[in-house]
Amino acid sequence: MNKQIFVNLPVRDLDKSKAFFEALGYRFNPQFTNESGACLVINDGSIYAMLLTQPFFKTFIDKPIAQATEATGVLICLGCESREEVDGLVAKAVAAGGRTPRPPQDHGFMYSHAFEDLDGHIWELAWMAPQE
């Protein structure tokens, strides 16, 4: 069975958030994108992030929206095919206005690094050595 995941994230400025992720090489599905939200395609057919304006995001919840620049409620981790892909995506994120919350971590069998997007959401990137 094909499983899909849609991570919903509140954003302050949808156009700036879209430009940020496009600078990383991602695209948006126009079928699920409008002035209230944009469907970020992470992996065709299975992984998406819905970037929702804060007023629209609020319609789905009855609690205050957590400000990711002040507190972390979730870490989004994406697997990468190489260490170079990890470093390349982090470099693109920083060039597009993001920041790195910590130095890269090299454990030999696993290499990871992370970036914060424009709203402070943390995106972990990890490469795992192939198992022999």
Tens-place pLDDT, residues 12-36: 999 999 999 999 999 999 999 999 9
Q: Residue 1 pLDDT more than 80? A: no
Q: Where are the beta strands (DSSP E) in 1-132?
A: 5-11, 27-29, 37-43, 47-53, 75-79, 105-106, 110-116, 122-128
- What pLDDT score does 104 carry? 98
**Of the candidates 68, 62, 64, 63, the residue with the CA atom closest to the CA atom of residue 7:** 68
Per-residue pLDDT tens digits for 75-117: 999 999 999 999 999 999 999 999 999 999 999 999 999 999 9
Residue pLDDT, tens place only, 47-72: 999 999 999 999 999 999 999 999 99
Q: Is 5-128 a CATH 3.30.200.20 domain?
A: no
Domain boundaries, the chain: 5-128
Distance CA 1, CA 11 (A): 31
